[in-house]
Amino acid sequence: MIAPGWFREDRLPHIYCTGCGNGTVINCTLGAVEEMGWKRNETIFVSGIGCSSRAPGYILTDSLHTTHGRALAFATGVKMAQPDLNVVVFTGDGDLAAIGGNHFIHACRRNVDMTVICMNNHIYGMTGGQGSPTTPPGAISTTTPYGASEPAFDLAELAVAAGANYVARWTSYHVKELTKAVAAGMQTPGLAFIEVRTQCPTNYGRHNKLRRVSDMIEHLRSHAMLVDKYNRLTAEGKPVPDGTFTVGELVRRNRPAMGVKR
Amino acid sequence: MKLVIDESRCKGCNLCVLVCPYGIFGEGTELNSRGIVSPVLDRPERCTNCRLQALYGRMLCGVCHMICPDQAIAWVEEKPFEPHRVEVEF
Ligand SMILES: Cc1ncc(C[n+]2csc(CCOP(=O)(O)OP(=O)(O)O)c2C)c(N)n1
Ligand code: SF4
Ligand code: SF4
Ligand code: SF4
Ligand SMILES: [Mg+2]
């Protein structure tokens, strides 16, 4: 196991379903934490509510498991009171972009110095598979039985527009790239946002002809396109296949940030 | 080093089967005592990390153990050291 000193081994195996991508994202995050050489008593994990938000419960540091959608508000409080702490937020697409959407844009605008990792599984996993703001058009969920008819949020682009200093997107298949991106985000002062497209075989895959974990992973892998390639294709006016999303580093910049270590 | 699957954690998702470039993991067929079909290992001594971790002093490849959502894959020291004749096919 990765970063053995950071897991609450007494709590394992965790509650996630077979093949749920959230466990992989925890691995990659803790791999990045080890790379950073952070100490356990100087690091805090904050989350809201959802399957993704249960992640801090498996990590051996102080953590805050807060109310639905409010992880970033609590994390901002932690960072303003104790700027010397390393703050990492685990959140889900519903937690971050639906009920917590306003906290998301304002945390990016304020550029609070923390690392926000969103496990975007395109669904409300914990409550049984209702559609979320990132459910792709046409996808079946319990609240979109005939296929989602609304456009979906692009969380990473949203964070870029709102002002975060570091923004990247990967999937739970790209474990090495994801670990590097999380570490790069942790090194960047200001808000680092890493969107991870993950598989929820139970509540997303089952309704969308992706019942097997390997089908979900293959779907993520084959629809991911490096952002440079995407920009090149669109600049040349060439077509991009339907359902493609960009992966890679979307922005790294130096806007004024809040709560940076003294 | 020896590759092991911790059957008290593995949930049988077969993601390791999907990612290993050497095809060391294969889909299992038998239920274990927890009612889970864990993957079976085919000549794990071919794994890059089994062979070279001690020499390089760091993790090599390790993709299976990063993607394993259940933290079930690990390498243990072999005691006493068992030399293997390894043929790596490319
Ligand atoms: C104030 C409030 N409203 C609604 C809920 C019910 N609820 C729990 S988890 C959840 C959605 C979680 O979705 P997401 O953040 O995507 O997490 P996932 O389970 O998919 O990882 C909802 C609506 C709640 N706990 N609190
Ligand atoms: S419901 Fe989905 S997100 Fe929640 S643990 Fe199961 S697979 Fe993971
Ligand atoms: S470390 Fe790499 S080569 Fe070794 S078993 Fe895992 S995936 Fe295969
Ligand atoms: S990836 Fe981990 S949990 Fe999944 S089958 Fe392999 S060892 Fe088991
Ligand atoms: Mg979700």
Look at the domain A4-252 and name its fold: Rossmann fold (3.40.50)
CB-nearest partner of B12 from A18, A28, A31: A18
B86 in a structural domain: no
Q: Which residues line ligand 2 (CB under 6 A)?
A: A 16-17, 20, 22, 51, 121, 125-126, 200-203
Q: pLDDT (tens digit, 9 = 90+) per residue, B35-57? A: 999 999 999 989 999 989 888 98
Residue A130's Cβ-count burial label (10 Å; 0-12, 13-18, 19+) is: middle
Residue identified by tokens 């669109």 is A234
Q: Is the sign of the CA dihedral A58, A61, A67, A70 positive or negative?
A: negative
Query: Which ligand 3 atom lies nearest to the CA of residue B20?
Result: 7
- Tell me, what DSSP letter sits at residue A3? S
Å from CA of A89 to ligand 5 middle: 15
Write phi, then psi, for B59 (nearest 5 degrees). Answer: -70, 130
Are A57 and A91 contacting, i.e. CB atoms less than 8 angstroms apart?
Answer: no
Distance B50 CA to ligand 5 centre (A): 36
Residue B34 lies in a domain: yes
Shortest Cα distance from B64 to chain A (angstroms)?
Answer: 9
Query: SS3 of A141, please?
Result: strand
Any domain includes B84: no
Share of chain B above pLDDT 90, in %: 70
Whether the link from the prior residue into B80 is cis, omega within 30° of 0, is yes
Identify which ligand lies nearest to the alpha carbon of A203.
2
Quick one: pLDDT at residue B87? 72
Contacts of A18 in chain B (CB under 8 A): 11-13
Residue B37 lies in a domain: yes
The C-alpha atoms of residue A172 and residue B9 are separated, in whole angstroms, by: 19
Predicted pLDDT of residue A145: 97
The one-letter amino acid code at A52 reads: S
Q: Mind listing the pLDDT tens digit for each residue in A73-103?
A: 999 999 999 999 999 999 999 999 999 999 9
Say whether B66 and A22 touch across the interface (CB within 8 A): no
Please name the residues in contact with A34: beta carbons below 8 A apart, sequence gap of 6 or more: A2, A3, A6
Residue span of the structural domain in which B22 resides? 2-76
Which atom of ligand 4 is nearest the CA belonging to B11? 3
Given a contact cutoff of 8 angstroms between Cβ atoms, the answer to whether A147 and A138 are in contact is yes
Take residue A89 and report the two structure tokens written for it: 């937020």
Ligand 4 geometric centre to CA of A244 (Å): 28
Give the pLDDT of residue B88.
72
Give B68: exposed, middle or buried? Use CB within 10 Å, 0-12, 13-18, 19+: buried
Element holding A167 (H helix, E strand): strand A166-171
A214 touches chain B (CB under 8 A): yes
Domains identified in chain B, total number: 1
Helix axes A175-187, A22-36, angle to 10 degrees: 50
Distance of CA B62 to the CA centre of its chain: 9
Q: Do A2 and B11 touch (CB under 8 A)?
A: no
Task: Pick A23's closest partner by Cβ from B14, B70, B74.
Answer: B70
Reported pTM: 0.96
Do A86 and A43 contact (CB within 8 A), yes or no?
yes
> Which pLDDT score is estimated for A86?
98
Question: Which mutation among A16, A20, A103, A124 tests ligand 1's pocket best, with the greatest number of atoms within 8 A of CB?
Answer: A124
- Residue B55 sits in a domain whose CATH number is 3.30.70.20
**Between A155-162 and A101-110, two packed helices, what is the crossing angle to 10 degrees?**
40
- With a threshold of 0.90, tell me whether the complex ipTM lies above it: yes
**Pairing state between β B73-76 and B2-5:** antiparallel
The secondary element (H helix, E strand) that includes residue A195 is: strand A192-197
Roughly how many angstroms between the first and final C-alpha of chain B, as a whole number?
Answer: 22
Three-state SS string over A40-61 comes to HHHEEEEECCCCHHHHHHHECC
Q: Which atom number of ligand 1 is nearest to the Cα of residue A95?
A: 15
Q: Tell me the C-alpha distance between B28 and B15, whole Å.
A: 12
In this predicted structure, what is the pLDDT of residue B41?
A: 96
CA–CA distance, A51 with A15 (Å, rounded to integer): 9
- Can you tell me which residue has the tokens 């306003």? A102
The pLDDT value given to residue B81: 61
Say yes or no: CB of residue A51 within 6 Å of ligand 1. Answer: yes
> What is the C-alpha separation between B86 and A215, in angstroms, rounded?
33
Exposed, middle or buried: residue A69 (CB in 10 Å: 0-12, 13-18, 19+)? buried
Per the domain annotation, does B82 fall within a domain? Answer: no
Q: Which of A1, A19, A213 sits opposite B71 (nearest CB)?
A: A1
pLDDT band of B80, cuts 50, 70, 90:
low
**CA of residue A168 to ligand 1 center, whole Å:** 24
**Cβ–Cβ below 8 Å for B69 and A28:** no
CA A249 to chain centre: 14
Q: Which residues of chain A have pLDDT under 70?
A: none
